[in-house]
Structure 1
Amino acid sequence: MDELIKAIDEITSEEITKLVVSNKKNKEIEYNKINAILKENSKNQYYQIEKYTDKQVFHENIDVDMLKKKITEYMEDDYKQLSAWSDKTTFDLKISKKGKVFLGKKRSDNSKIANKNHNKEKNYILKEGTIIQPLIDLGVFTKEGKVVNSKYDKYKQINRFIEMIDDEIKKNDQKDLTILDFGCGKSYLTFVLYYYFVEIKKINVKMIGLDLKPDVIKKCNEIAKRYNYENLRFELGDINGYKYTDNVDMVITLHACDTATDYALYNAVKWNTKMIFSVPCCQHEFNSQMKSDELSLFTKYGIVKERVSALMTDAVRANLLESLGYKTQLLEFIDIAHSPKNILIRASKSNISKDKKENALKEVDNIVKEFNIKSTLLKLLKDDNLI
């Protein structure tokens, strides 16, 4: 163990720009490999940790001075190999089956790795230095288009949301889009999205924001007029029962409370919407119903029940969309330290096999039976003979 600590001390004595932990000691270890990449923003430097399973990658950010502690934990218990790069040195750490530690190092110019990692964080779709009026009015940008230091996290969050939409948009050569934004609220993100579609992607967009508050709708229409956003309008209406007769290409719903998200998803499915982006909020429905004899541990403690029920709600929603032919993902787009409402449901119409659709629906049936719960979205779809 002393040899390992000494080797890690030697590695971290230099500024590591990238690090890869691999070769897990047994099959039970969850992550196949773990990366640590040095990042920087306007305030400080930090490491972004990327943990890879067979199907997913999980992220967390740590302070620079936490790197030694983290990699010591990884190498002591779970992994046998570590590769690391500083500007001038490449390190290769290996642990034999008998626990012997071997540290190799060689001098090499790795400055390009450092520059690549640092710049990656800054390569945002909504670029600093650009005059984007909604971001100025939101207080994220100064009048000169610079990021306000205290709003850097908000700037990253908005870009992250735009990136998740951009991932779908760039799969097809979109020329025209009709977009409905349910529960748009004060709508600054709606305005930012309109800017992204029209000014950056050069797409002919027709965009409608929907909300229940007349004063909000009036103000948003005034702002759209002031921005000269000609094809963006706001209407007064309820997600439940909203009627729209034309084709809808995309439905967006951000923080629609509790079952309002279900009504938004239901409408999106009825319209045969191509793309759905939903950030749920206040998932109370399952929490008030959950009961289980076999899995009572999940309902025994209030805080556990609350979190499990929220995750279960979104998992059921994702599976129901999959059963209807949507390729569906649940993605984290805000660090949970900033907001617990950090899951995005991203769904796109796709060629889903019959077996996969049936299995998705079966998984929903199993969970609602086990926990004696009723899903609003499931009921809406069944009542309308959509499933």
Structure 2
Amino acid sequence: MQFEELVDELARRMTDSSFISGTISQSRTKSDEVKRVKVKPIELKGHLHLQFEYQFERILQHENVPASEVHGKLSELLERYKQVHAEFADEKIHVQLSKKFKVMWKSDQIHSKKVVDLSHNRKKQYLLDDTTPYPFLIRLGVQSPDGKVKKQKYDKFRQINRFIEFIDDSLTHLPKDRTIRILDFGSGKSYLTFALYHYLRIEKGLDINVTGLDLKKEVIEECRQIAQDLNYDNLEFLVGDINDYNEETAVDMVVTLHACDVATDMALARAVRWGARVILSVPCCQHELFGQIQSPELQVLLKHGLIKERFSALATDSIRAELLSLVGYESQLLEFIDMEHTPKNILIRAYRTEKRHSTETIQQYKAFRDMLGAKPFLEKELLQSNHLFLSE
């Protein structure tokens, strides 16, 4: 069997009704950041897709590929990897590719035929089930006492679950031999603060200590009462400003949701100073760069106020993510869920890795910043605290 024949055969079989799951592994290059790729069939809007799950060292990324595009995706992957395991309803196969792409194919029959069922992919599987009553969701008015999610609160329920997915992904980066210290700046009504506490303490049984901080005294008092009613002993709420909070020397996770404009940068700078292992931030009202950008090359874009505002917000978050990477974090910009019909749907996720950055990376950041004529608040904060060095 030739390489092209292998791709044809796998594409054909993986898109018929017998395919259950597969794994593509053994990269041909040590520099490939994706360790392995898992594949499974899913149904989206009534059409067959293959979901490719890319497994990096610390994170997972998913790509849903329509059946008509699977051949090209497999061809691309099999040029990078040497091994394929695939399970079908009545057969398991193992494929090994040599350095010169010689194909070795081994097949084992399955005596008890399996049934491929895509139905489990039709309903979203939440980490918090939408039929189980949770005391904190009932107390916050998201669920009725019998566990039913209120119709008008279903978007909030989806947002809470999306947030918990990010928390769950972060577990491998948190300490396992001591109390985990978590700070939530700008906690507001604290739906997500309570969700975080419930998931880590009640569901996972972790030893945690969580503080929610907000400027609104009446909101904080209400949250304190709810925490007391739920017997959440290691969850406290304080009235305070991000810039004035100096009670910590080390924190494991910093969460900041919709802190306005440079308040987000203040929280990110604090997280870096404390050596936080995990940062989860949903920025809001990114006005800083709007008045700074002076770039003739971008004038076609910048002359439209609406477009300039959106571009400024995207550039601000891109700069934040890049700065975090320059001080030893693995950072990503991910899609969150809109809150109350606003476009605050980008989440900055950063894991501390201490990975050294290259001179080229610094130069790329400086070139982008200078093209915009920007003077980012976060850059100044990190330079002043001696966490960032741009002289290389």
TM-score by length of 1: 0.71
Name the amino acid aligned to 2:158: K
Which one of the candidate residues 244, 256, 261 is aligned to 1:241?
244
Q: 1:59 to 1:147 in 2, by over 3 A?
A: farther
Q: What's the RMSD between the two structures over aligned residues?
A: 4.1
Contact 2:52 2:62 in 1 (8 A): yes
Any idea what SS the aligned residue of 1:112 has?
A: coil
Name the amino acid aligned to 2:153: K
Q: CA deviation at 1:137?
A: 3.0
Task: Name structure 1 gaps, 5 residues minimum.
Answer: 1-14, 19-33, 61-69, 82-87, 89-108
Are 1:112 and 2:112 counterparts?
A: no
Matches within 5 A, 1:1-387: 37-38=42-43, 112-118=116-122, 121-122=124-125, 124-170=126-172, 174=176, 175-334=178-337, 339-353=342-356, 355-356=357-358, 358-387=359-388
Instruction: List 4+ stretches of structure 1 deviating above 6 A.
Output: 44-60, 78-81
Contact 2:293 2:373 in 1 (8 A): yes
**Separation of aligned partners in 2, 1:116 and 1:79:** 24
Contact 1:183 1:256 in 2 (8 A): yes
Q: 1:53 to 1:166 in 2, by over 3 A?
A: closer
Which residue is 2:23 aligned to?
none
Q: 1:166 to 1:287 in 2, by over 3 A?
A: same
Q: 1:266 to 1:47 in 2, by over 3 A?
A: farther
**Separation of aligned partners in 2, 1:35 and 1:313:** 37
Q: 1:36 to 1:308 in 2, by over 3 A?
A: farther
Q: CA deviation at 1:359?
A: 3.9
Contact 2:143 2:149 in 1 (8 A): yes
**Separation of aligned partners in 2, 1:385 and 1:173:** 25
Contact 1:48 1:59 in 2 (8 A): no
**Separation of aligned partners in 1, 2:42 and 2:341:** 21
Deviations 1:24-62 (A, max 9, x none): xxxxxxxxxx999436xxxx98999979999996889xx
Which residue is 1:31 aligned to?
none
Q: CA deviation at 1:158?
A: 1.2
Q: 1:79 to 1:239 in 2, by over 3 A?
A: closer
Q: CA deviation at 1:131?
A: 2.7
Contact 1:181 1:210 in 2 (8 A): yes
Deviates more, 1:301-310 or 1:200-209: 301-310
Contact 1:286 1:309 in 2 (8 A): yes
Q: 1:213 to 1:79 in 2, by over 3 A?
A: closer
**Separation of aligned partners in 1, 2:258 and 2:371:** 28
Contact 1:323 1:361 in 2 (8 A): yes
Q: 1:369 to 1:51 in 2, by over 3 A?
A: farther
Contact 1:197 1:205 in 2 (8 A): yes
Contact 2:173 2:351 in 1 (8 A): no
Contact 1:319 1:361 in 2 (8 A): no
Any idea what SS the aligned residue of 1:320 has?
A: helix
Contact 2:185 2:214 in 1 (8 A): yes
Contact 2:211 2:236 in 1 (8 A): yes
Task: Name structure 2 gaps, 5 residues minimum.
Answer: 1-16, 21-38, 76-88, 90-112
Contact 2:331 2:348 in 1 (8 A): yes
**Separation of aligned partners in 1, 2:259 and 2:119:** 40
Contact 2:43 2:122 in 1 (8 A): yes
Q: Tell me how many residue pairs correspond in the alignment.
A: 324
**Separation of aligned partners in 2, 1:264 and 1:114:** 43
**Separation of aligned partners in 1, 2:277 and 2:296:** 40
Contact 2:273 2:385 in 1 (8 A): no
Q: CA deviation at 1:246?
A: 4.0
Any idea what SS the aligned residue of 1:240 has?
A: helix
**Separation of aligned partners in 1, 2:226 and 2:171:** 26
Contact 1:50 1:57 in 2 (8 A): no
Q: 1:329 to 1:289 in 2, by over 3 A?
A: same
Deviations 1:124-183 (A, max 9, x none): 221233332221233322211122344333222211111111111145563521111000
Q: CA deviation at 1:198?
A: 0.6
Deviations 1:92-148 (A, max 9, x none): xxxxxxxxxxxxxxxxx99633134235x22x2212333322212333222111223
Query: Percent of counterpart pairs with the same letter?
Result: 42
Contact 2:174 2:277 in 1 (8 A): no
Q: 1:156 to 1:307 in 2, by over 3 A?
A: same
Q: CA deviation at 1:330?
A: 0.9
